[in-house]
Structure 1
Amino acid sequence: MRRIVLWDIDHTLVDTRGVGRELSGLAFERVTGRRMERQARIDGITEPVIFRETAKLHGLETGRGDFERFAEALAEAHVQRAAELRERGHALPGAAAALDALAEVDGVEQTVVSGNVRAVSEIKLQTFGLDRHIRWEMGAYGEDADERPELVRIALERAGLAAAEAVLLDDTPAGVEAGLANRVRVIGVATGRSSEAELSAAGANVVLPDLTDTDLLVRLTQGS
């Protein structure tokens, strides 16, 4: 039986410790010519929505072409400052072991459902050595859709699997709700800004404090 594990990235697998926001500011200024003085809400929100709403906070109206230029500039900034990202950020405890353990389970494949654009998703996981088990072609990313439920739907379609054959891990209520909207089993991981209580209230099937109990995590992804 095939199963697909859908991973969120930021605050589920990695913490960039503020570097991500700095790079967003750099890309925003390159594209708009304006210094990013404020940023729209980011937790559980996709990159195109963050960019559009951040631009509005600065009195700017943007289109798809502006976002595409921003996405390219953001990827370039991550490549240019990968060493700083590695130095200041880190993989979250248990992330590497969880990815490795799931890779050993017959029939299990792993991919990403992230509001980040694909290029940035790849750079973030590569930087912290978390990319080797990820089937990138099955994932869904910020450039694919504005809303997270649609990203989950796209990932299921690309993987060729039904909702019952998937499990999603995410640290935000928005991520939890995106999985539930597609009838996907959701494991909330309270390693971000949302508490275990908040993730439970959002409807997560199970909530973990972190990824450090590898055996439990593997069992939960199998529905145990």
Structure 2
Amino acid sequence: MPRLLLWDIDHTLIETRGVGRALSAAAFEQVTGMPMREQAAIDGITESVIFRETAKLHGLETSRADFERFAQALSEEHVANARELRERGAALPGAAAALEALHAAGARQTVVTGNVRAVAETKLHVFGLGSRIDWEAGAYGEDADLRPDLVALALRRAATVSADAVLIGDTPADVEGGHAHGVHVIAVATGRSSAEALREAGADIVLDDLADTERLLALVK
């Protein structure tokens, strides 16, 4: 069993079914004073980049201070709307069982996510998935713009070498982030990227979902 599991969150462990975009729009308007007419690409992208590129689509240039205010507003929106998130969103099939089985097998688990930490914590706790996560070892959307940098940071925070880690995510960006540091990547086709696209991106293993816990444990070992 590897010493460290690096989990993506959105479309790997959970889905918000539109709630996340609505909360982002609310936070964007709070910070910029403009309704969010459109949003930049989000799959595999960190929150800092999404905010910056979305602002550009509205003719705005933003600073780090603007992003920090957005991150705070977004975190508050998730807390205030936790009930709606719980009712409309969902933990993906097999996610809870996978986290528990890996914990029982002795794996340390954290997250490498484009979400800012406060949002990541709210999302996973809302769906009962947060108790097995080592939050201090994770890397988040406020820490760096690119996935490879987040993976490197999580490895440093966990004091783990790449050979002792496995990353599980749903986008080519997750594959890129893991492979940039020699981390084995299991990709799940539960997001917008097809199994074929994930194989083409170079994922070491591609699964349709996390439903088969025993198979996942065998593959991780």
User: TM-score over 0.5 for the alignment?
Assistant: yes
Which residue of 2 is the match for residue 87 of structure 1? 87
1:100-145 per-residue CA deviation (whole Å, 9 max, x = no partner) reads 0000013x10000000000000000000000010000000000110
The residue identity in structure 2 corresponding to 1:22 is A
CA distance in 2, matches of 1:150, 1:64: 18
Matched residue, 2:64: 64
3-state SS of 2:141 partner:
coil
Deviation per CA, 1:168-197, whole angstroms, max 9, x where unpaired? 000001111110111100000000000111
Please tell me the residue identity of whatever aligns with 1:132. Answer: S
Equivalent residue runs for 1:194-213 within 5 Å: 194-213=193-212
Letter matched to residue 198 of structure 1: A
Alignment match, 1:105: 105
Provide the secondary structure at the position in 1 that maps to 2:206: strand
Task: Give the Cα separation in 2 of the matches to 1:10 and 1:71.
Answer: 17
Deviation at 1:221? 1.3
**Correspondences of 1:37-186 after superposition (within 5 Å):** 37-106=37-106, 108-186=107-185
Q: Normalising to structure 2: TM-score of the pair?
A: 0.99
Q: Secondary structure at the match of 1:5?
A: strand
> Which whole-Å CA distance do the structure 2 matches of 1:146 and 1:221 have between them?
28
- Structure 2: where are the runs of 5+ without partners? none
Instruction: State the AA in 2 paired with 1:180.
Output: H
Q: In the aligned structure 1, how far is the partner of 2:181 from the partner of 2:58?
A: 35
Shift of 1:6: 0.3
Question: Separation in 1 of the partners of 2:51 and 2:220?
Answer: 33
Kindly provide the amino acid, as one letter, of the partner of residue 121 in structure 1: A
Give structure 1 regions of 4+ aligned residues with deviation exceeding 4 angstroms: none
User: Displacement, 1:2?
Assistant: 5.6
How many residues are aligned here? 221
Amino acid at match of 1:185: H
In the other structure, the counterpart of 2:32 is 32
The 2-side partners of 1:160 and 1:114 are apart by 18
Q: 2:131, 2:85 → 1: CA distance? A: 19
CA RMSD of aligned residues (A): 0.7
Provide Cα deviations, 1:11-68, integer angstroms capped at 9, x if missing partner: 0000000000000000000000000000000000000000000000000000000000
Q: Secondary structure at the match of 2:197?
A: helix
Q: CA deviation at 1:219?
A: 1.4
Same amino acid, percent of matched pairs? 66
Q: State the one-letter code of the partner of 1:141.
A: Y
